[in-house]
Structure 1
Amino acid sequence: MAEDHKKTLQSQLWNIANTLRGKMGADEFRDYILGFIFYKYLSERMHLFADEILKQDEIRFDAIDEGSAAGQKMLAEIQEESVDRLGYFLKPSELFHKVAEKGAQKANNFILEDLTAILKHIEASTMGHDSEDDFEGLFEDLDLGSSKLGKTENQKNELVAKVLAHLDKIDFRLADTEADVLGDAYEYLIGQFASGAGKKAGEFYTPQEVSTILAKIVTTGKKSLRSAYDPTCGSGSLLLRVAKEVEDVGHFYGQEMNPTTYNLARMNMILHGVHYQRFDLKNEDTLEHPAPEHAGLRFEAIVANPPFSANWSASAIHENDDRFSPYGRLAPKTKADFAFVQHMVHHLDSGATMACVLPHGVLFRGAAEGHIRKYLIEDCNYLDAVIGLPANIFYGTSIPTCILVLKKQREHPNDILFIDASQHFEKVGNQNQLRPEDIERIVSTYRKRESIEKFSKVSESSEVEANDYNLNIPRYVDTFDAEDAVDLDEVAEKLAALEKDMGDANKVVAVLCAELGIKAPF
């Protein structure tokens, strides 16, 4: 039943999202529809929470008279408990269905000003409380005055009211605590938007198939995690994927540079039922300005899909940074891939695992990158596995990628596992996609740490050293298919037979041409 409801909900929400399609770009109408869904979610949670408090009084939250002294006293008490437990507060008149009903009226149906005030009030209700940082600026991308919604205020109001009315008819079933149906539907929408956002998709979304591999690797042998960290967390989907692989994650940490994506990540966390006290996401450049609140922390699981070969300052000031100084070299200015690896290794706890997606170039490029790669392998002995993925599985780029797995306390310190999964996928539209059996084979091979002909090899550290720490996968996993041997004697016999047949045919043609009194064509 939950699965059926999830599919229905996904379809309903995507149909509503398409109400805004054509009005603006995919990444823009994404911000509106996800923002409205989030507002409805907060509203329904507030309603359920308040109704539970008021159950003994046999009063419904939306029936409280906000203008009466008794009503105001009651709301003040509910607000105090709500901000403490949920992190925010909404008055009955600010509930989603109240606004949607007003927008659906034939007269007196202008809701843009009301809606703007309500969204600001949600943020304001958290001020001075522990949840303030998690709600501050959360709705800043929901610009209800934007001309993209319509040329006139009435046109904007009509479109927004239409979207809210459609959403108001959908039952999110938040009382059903057995399944994260809405969270899964929200993830589905994020994925759909990513598929239409082209290059920009890489800023906020890792394909679910890749996320699953990373999450399964870092949770191998674990039933719970003290902490999970993603230094380039995008929409937060990768962190949430890790949570699906274990019974519990104590705390989520992350950093995201793009403010819009950062807002999306916080919404995603809250909407998946992660309490505001259990996640700590920061909005800043991870390499240039790492969150000071995270500086002394070490994490049990680290996952990441950093921007491929991004630019960074590579400033000399970083040479004294604890994240980079042990290596003696900084990642190149135009290729920050190893800078992200160094940052993650710095925050990796003993006995913990990190898995990150990177472009293939990190496996073999020389100069500073070769020096850093050698230090990680020879001096630190942190590299545990290298996994080659198919080309064209990420939105916005067709380049082949790889997964690096690193540990500070390796169970197999004398070898490195190489997996070549580059040829195992199916083509779906313009993208290549890993199938469930492809994911299972990669994860199973990693966990069993086995050599499989033309797919994987457990290579001794001495072999990697002999290759001068070049990790290019074909050096270790031989996927070459030898062609069948050719019998030259048999070929010669066939050619001789063919020659004879052609000679016989030519004689017949010559006779026919003579009878017709024409010249033979040879």
Structure 2
Amino acid sequence: MNKQQLAAKIWESANQMRSKIEANEYKDYILGFIFYKYLSDKLVRFAKSQDFSDQDLRALSEEDAETVDYIKSNVGYFISYEHLFSTWIEHKGDFDVSHVRDALSAFSRLIHPNHKRLFEGIFKTLETGLSKLGDTAAKQTKAISELIQLIKDIPMDGRQGYDVLGFIYEYLISMFAANAGKKAGEFYTPHEVSVLMSEIIAHHLKDRETIQIYDSTSGSGSLLLNIGQAIAKHMLDKDNIRYYAQELKENTYNLTRMNLVMRDILPSNIVTRNADTLEDDWPFFDDQDPVNTYNPLYLDAVVSNPPYSLKWDPQHKDSDPRYARFGLAPKSKADYAFLLHDLYHLKPGGIMAIVLPHGVLFRGGEEGAIRKNLIENDHLETIIGLPPNIFFGTGIPTIILVLRQKRESSDVLIVDASKGFAKEGKNNKLRASDIKKIADTVIGRLNVPRYSRLVPKTELQANDYNLNIPRYVDSSEPAESWDLYASMFGGIPLSELDALADFWKAFPSLRATLFTDNGTPYVAPQVADLAQATREHPEVMKYGETFTAAFADFTPWLRGALLEQMLTLQIPRQEALISKELFDRLAPLPLIDKYHAYQILDDHWQPIAIDLEILQTEGFDASRVVDPNLVTKKKEGKDVELQDGWKGRILPFELVQMTHHKQELAALREKETRLSEITASLEEIFESLSEEDKANDTVNDAGDKFVNAAVAKEAKLVLAEAKQSGDFDPESYEAKIIQAADWLAEEKTLKAAIKQEAAALHLKTKETIENLSDAQVHELLERKWITPLRIPPKITS
């Protein structure tokens, strides 16, 4: 199964297992075990790369000091064979909770000194929480056994390994956050918000060879990682990115460390700190080595999603260099304290993005003074108003503020992105098109009517530094109005035509062709069929030709961009490349919403990206692999996973059938269509029966359907009677029973034939996939990937 399916399966199973444990707490246990599996598998991979045999692996123990030191110096820690995750699996019925306790204790002892800061105490939450998995050792053992069985299938080797692992890790964190309310939502920034911040920051830093990024309230670390991944797309070597993370809560701090380690980041590029960001700023040096570790920590990018309107203690902070220039945030709301902390740690050419509650834009007092100083010193670059209910556990309106230490301009871009989202459960979610539109607007610093505006400093000063978004950008929908005169006497109001200004600009002579203007506020059509006249207008037809020409060679271009490079292309970069090509082709075409087109592309891209990951990880032959189709069914009151046929790892059976087995598929579809016709006819004839008719043995006791055997028997008797007395009235009960019997007999025959032919076609398709030539695979991949992205050859309406 692909990583989305595997992640969803793990979440579903985990959700069933948690019983009385809070989701936020249970999360720490399952993610802790995932991390231990990662470290265990990584050590095994290293040992095998050093030519350790299976026998050598079984001999791994603390007593072999030389081997212990060798492995510790290379991977940073040591795990003996008896404590490997894979050994726990081998124990099966002999597994015990004590094995976990002993393994975690041993791990703490066997960390290399150079990796102490990275690994020390990382399993503390898991160690102290094992007792909560059951009130007896037997219950704890059972719960842990179920947990490790749940996660044992997560691949952690090579390229796909850390990608799948990281994806599942973030998926589980997001699901726990979504289902645990505010408590879990505090440390998780929704993926879409992270991506938006990442795109803005990555564009600013894209030309740099080395980059340092910092999250001052790192939570699970996902925001920091998304920033790093976005920047890495523009860099030749992702190992030139260094990550700094600070988090107050110890269990959440451990999540940060786990998340960073599992993403294959060099240990030397991970610098983490468990401390209070506001009370205990990042130290200028390590107490153990103050001379060689002096570092005031100025960075290229700082990001954060701090807890909103937190109480803090501003006393004695006047001289703190973080706040001295701008002022102290009020003790009831630390929002600006976090902002000023982040700004202080920026390099002159750096950029920061912070998520805060909407109130920071207009609240007065100390916050108003800080806001004034930020604007007067030209630090504030952009304000982005986000949709409501976009963060887990809070409905507070939120914003993203983008700031810089050094700017050449003094205006502020204000973006009202609050209307662009999709509803998903209780929360709203930014779509790919929403993210793209916001990022393009911010990067290009664009004025977009009813969406964004570059506001000069003088206007902000005139408004007493109040930054409330509606003061500057009116994104409200115009009030709906009705023209009573037009309703009563006819005519089309000029105001309604004027509202279509974009269309008249695209087709300058179309309006005069369609409507008469008699000098009144109303016009009348001067053609019989407005739609036909519009389609046949020369300017509209020319537009269609331009559209067709713009995409005439789009399919061949996509072949080159996808099929010909499938095993070597960089997946995230390729989507950006295709979207740029799409936007370039749409540029000369007014009226088309390019972001709507981008959303269609992104929706199609997700399954393409999954296929590309599999092909690049497993090789081209993965396209010819057929896997068991596993389904969950109830058996003796329990959910049991059973095989129900087969499915292509990459190529869907139906696509292969439509391409290589058209005749068999058409014959099967014909029978299925006939079956549905019979079913509808039987329902219709049944509904036509009177209540008296339905009291006969031919209808079941519930009175809702025919009894097949009784209908067949009754029809025989009726037909025998008909030979003696003549034909029945077509609307009589007897005629209906004869017809129902015929249909029921045909239905039975059809169902048997469909079952047999479908099974035969299914097995034939399996064999076809397993024996496809390379050329046939390419043809099928084109049908799956490229055909849905083809632009229609002409505009028809």
Q: Same fold per TM (> 0.5)?
A: yes
1:201 and 1:165 mapped to 2: Cα distance? 25
8 A Cα contact 1:418 1:476, kept in partner: yes
Q: Which of 187-196 and 148-157 deviates more?
A: 148-157
1:154 maps to which residue?
Answer: 138
1:204 maps to which residue?
Answer: 187
**1:414 CA drift (Å):** 3.0
Kindly provide the CA deviation profile for residues 254-313 of structure 1, in whole angstroms up to 9, marking residues without a partner as x: 111111100111111111112222111111110011231477110101111011101101
8 A Cα contact 1:54 1:61, kept in partner: no
2:225 maps to which residue?
Answer: 240
Kindly provide the CA deviation profile for residues 315-334 of structure 1, in whole angstroms up to 9, marking residues without a partner as x: 1x10010101112x310111
1:486 and 1:19 mapped to 2: Cα distance? 55
SS at match of 1:251: strand
Residue number among 140, 157, 166 corresponding to 1:174 in the alignment: 157
Kindly provide the CA deviation profile for residues 186-217 of structure 1, in whole angstroms up to 9, marking residues without a partner as x: 11111111111101123210000111111111
8 A Cα contact 2:218 2:256, kept in partner: yes
Matches within 5 A, 1:56-205: 58=53, 61-64=56-59, 66=61, 72-73=63-64, 76-102=65-91, 104-105=92-93, 109-126=94-111, 129-143=113-127, 146-168=130-152, 170-176=153-159, 180-205=163-188
**1:5 CA drift (Å):** 2.9
8 A Cα contact 2:162 2:264, kept in partner: no
1:157 and 1:39 mapped to 2: Cα distance? 17
SS at match of 1:100: helix
Residue number among 348, 351, 371 corresponding to 2:349 in the alignment: 351
1:44 and 1:146 mapped to 2: Cα distance? 22
**1:408 CA drift (Å):** 1.5
**1:473 CA drift (Å):** 0.9
Matches within 5 A, 1:338-417: 338-378=336-376, 380-411=377-408, 413-417=409-413
Q: Which runs of 5+ in 1 are unaligned?
A: 495-522
Q: What's the % identity of the aligned pairs?
A: 41
Query: Structure 1-normalised TM-score?
Result: 0.86
Query: Which amino acid counterpart does residue 140 of structure 2 have in structure 1?
Result: K
**1:15 CA drift (Å):** 3.8
Alignment of 1:258 onto 2:255: no
Q: Which has the higher helix share?
A: 2
Matches within 5 A, 1:8-23: 8-23=5-20
**1:492 CA drift (Å):** 9.1
Query: Which amino acid counterpart does residue 78 of structure 2 have in structure 1?
Result: F
CA 487–29 in structure 1, closer or farther in 2 if over 3 Å, else same: closer
Query: Structure 2-normalised TM-score?
Result: 0.57
Alignment of 1:441 onto 2:412: no
Query: Which amino acid counterpart does residue 120 of structure 2 have in structure 1?
Result: E
Matches within 5 A, 1:465-504: 465-483=461-479, 487=483
8 A Cα contact 1:37 1:167, kept in partner: yes
2:168 and 2:426 mapped to 1: Cα distance? 23
2:308 maps to which residue?
Answer: 308
Query: Which amino acid counterpart does residue 44 of structure 1 have in structure 2?
Result: D
8 A Cα contact 1:123 1:132, kept in partner: no
2:393 and 2:461 mapped to 1: Cα distance? 35
SS at match of 1:384: strand
8 A Cα contact 1:26 1:197, kept in partner: yes
| Larger relative contact order (CA 8 Å, sep ≥ 6) | 1
1:337 maps to which residue?
Answer: 335
SS at match of 2:169: helix
SS at match of 1:180: helix
8 A Cα contact 2:451 2:475, kept in partner: yes
**1:176 CA drift (Å):** 3.1
2:307 and 2:54 mapped to 1: Cα distance? 52
CA 333–144 in structure 1, closer or farther in 2 if over 3 Å, else same: closer
Alignment of 1:286 onto 2:273: no
Q: CA RMSD in A?
A: 2.2
8 A Cα contact 1:35 1:139, kept in partner: yes
SS at match of 2:353: strand
Kindly provide the CA deviation profile for residues 456-481 of structure 1, in whole angstroms up to 9, marking residues without a partner as x: 01111211111111111111112244
CA 178–449 in structure 1, closer or farther in 2 if over 3 Å, else same: farther
Residue number among 448, 462, 468 corresponding to 2:458 in the alignment: 462
8 A Cα contact 2:134 2:140, kept in partner: yes
8 A Cα contact 1:16 1:163, kept in partner: no
Q: Which runs of 5+ in 2 are unaligned?
A: 233-237, 286-294, 491-797
2:624 maps to which residue?
Answer: none
Residue number among 192, 197, 208 corresponding to 1:214 in the alignment: 197
8 A Cα contact 1:385 1:417, kept in partner: yes
SS at match of 2:412: strand
**1:489 CA drift (Å):** 5.8
8 A Cα contact 1:218 1:303, kept in partner: no
